[in-house]
Amino acid sequence: MFLVYEHVSRGSLDRYLDSPHLTWSQRLKICLDAAKALRYLHDQKERHQRLIHCDVKSANILLDDQWNAKVSNVGLSIMGPTNEHSSVTVTVVASTPGYCDPQYAMTHTLTKKSDVYSFGVVLFEVLCGRLCYTLDSKDHVNEILVTTWVKSYE
């Protein structure tokens, strides 16, 4: 399988999270663009089948030279349920640690809420200016910060 994408000169959002040059208006625009893309995937219209992305993360949000956001890796999405109130059960959890909806990780049940949770983590990254995890010296995930952040608000 080959996935072909439009050329995006700035690369992925994760490279810019901690950049002091990324203004708040640019951050907002990026978040709104990504939200609109997810809405398009999730809403069933005429011949368009509802899709669940399964791996929404800042590395999968690509930026062009005008800071327009494009949600990537859509080719790896799965067909969503035919209605809002249904879910899809999958046997393999394919989401990235830190972005994965805890309910999805435990039950292997997907709804569009799984993508919404992951997008919420991306929004938190954009607001905080950092990734939701830390890496060790071998570039393996060392600590998932979402759980630390949540515990600090309990």
Q: What are the residue ranges spanned by the domains of the chain? A: 11-75+86-152
43 is catalytic: no
Q: What would the pLDDT profile of 25-65 be if each residue is shown by its tens digit?
A: 999 999 999 999 999 888 877 556 677 888 899 999 999 99
- Homologous superfamily of domain range 11-75+86-152: Transferase(Phosphotransferase) domain 1 (1.10.510.10)
Tokens (6 digits) for 60: 């999968």
What share of the chain in percent tops pLDDT 70?
79
pTM over 0.85: no
Q: Is there a contact between 110 and 78 (Cβ–Cβ < 8 Å)?
A: yes
Which residues pair with residue 51 across a beta bridge? 79
| CA–CA gap between residue 136 and residue 100 (Å, rounded) | 20
Give the lowest-confidence range in 2-11, 67-76, 118-127.
2-11
State mean pLDDT over 69-96.
Answer: 66
Q: Is the dihedral of CA 15, 20, 22, 27 positive or negative?
A: positive
Closest CA to 123 of 20, 43, 40, 17: 17
List 14, 43, 55, 136, catalytic entry: 55
| CA–CA gap between residue 102 and residue 118 (Å, rounded) | 10
> What's residue 53's pLDDT?
84
